Amino acid sequence: MSFQSKPRAGPFRRSPARFATATWGRGATDMKGTAIAHCVTMLALKRLGAALDRDVVFLGTADEEEGVEANGAAWVIGNRRDVLRNAELVLTEGAYIDADDAGRAKNWNVDVTEKSVLWLKVTATGRAGHGSIPEPNGAVAKLVRAMGRLMAWEPEIRLIPAVEKYFQSIAANETGALADDLRNPRAALADPARRARLLADPFRSAALRATISVTGLKGSDKVNVIPGETTALIDCRLLPGDDAAVFLETLKRVAGEPDLRWEIIASSVATESTTDTDLFRAIERARDRFDPGVPVLTPPLLSTTDATTFRQAGMVIYGFEAWRIKPDDDQSHGDDERLSLANIRFGVEAMFFIVWEVCGRK
């Protein structure tokens, strides 16, 4: 099979979208749309009878966000490693293509590293009683005080090489003092005013340190009952190089309530992949075809995917989703999650191009 450098329509027949301009629903971007693009790429290779120099494996697993026991990728690695045989290069969810308000690409983002998770359940116990008589050292009081201290605490700022490189690469998109800060973030972090400017953006702030989010609180389901036990869920994301055990001990000290019970729900280790691979070069060639002149950047992913599981099994993996996402269009995990039909077609063609570039027999 031959594949022209600039095919006019690609391997997919076009049909007009008569009744809709987008797909709506939870998972449209995170990550059912990407799963569909991968699946359709596999189907297209099969239907075209494509001659391949490498095997292509489609692996659909759940669910890296539901803890260790539900992690399908970890189960496959641990129980069915034969399914992946000698797999060496992997594409999964992660970074998108930044687009302007008109939908034009600004940056192709490929994440090569991500934060690790430390998910915790914290339990406080105390005397139960009637709500008309306060319990200043009851379970609710202890837990609320502890969570308040954690949310007020600021973890140490740490500039890792991947973040420094990313900041320097996006400096050209900014002007004035912020551009100078991004060009030399190490110097900016040493100056209080410049440091505050860098940290003012939530993404930059999260890229520079571990984060703590209290995501769940549970106590009494009766307004007039002081419960004997309360729990909190905490989502911590750690930078590569952070020690989860050390961080947990620090959280316990900051919380300041010695009789709390701390349980680790899930924990992972941050990893990184080299960009010196056929797959990364194929992504760059796809950029040349679809959005020539647009930079390919490697921002750190501040959430967590299955990438860590595959990297720890010896594979090179990139988080890349070929959607041109405008500033207001990333609604993952939120209301009105959606993906335009134009994006779906583009993403499928871009994914096919990348896979063919890596695996197709030329």
The answer for residues whose C-beta is within 8 angstroms of residue 359's C-beta and 6 or more apart is 52, 53, 54, 55, 56
pLDDT of 29 over the 80 cut: no
Question: In this prediction, what percent of the chain has a pLDDT beyond 70?
Answer: 90
Instruction: Tell me what the mean pLDDT of segment 130-143 comes to.
Output: 95
Task: Report the C-alpha gap between 312 and 303 in whole angstroms.
Answer: 17
> What's the angle, vertex CA 336, arms to CA 333 and CA 341, rounded to 5?
105
pTM comes to 0.79
Closest CA to 120 of 100, 146, 96, 97: 146
| CATH 3.40.630.10 residue window(s) in the chain | 22-114+271-359
pLDDT tens figures, 84-110: 888 999 999 989 999 988 889 999 999
**What pLDDT was estimated at residue 85?**
84
- pLDDT top residue among 13 and 332: 332
| CATH 3.30.70.360 residue window(s) in the chain | 116-156+209-267
**What pLDDT was estimated at residue 20?**
52
**What pLDDT was estimated at residue 103?**
87
- Which CATH class, in words, describes the domain spanning 116-156+209-267? alpha beta
> Between β-strands 22-24 and 338-340, what pairing exists: parallel, antiparallel or unpaired?
antiparallel
**What pLDDT was estimated at residue 270?**
85
Question: What is the homologous superfamily of the domain 22-114+271-359 according to CATH?
Answer: Zn peptidases (3.40.630.10)
Band (pLDDT 50/70/90 cuts) for residue 43 is very high
pLDDT of 280 over the 90 cut: yes
pLDDT of 19 over the 70 cut: no
**What pLDDT was estimated at residue 3?**
29
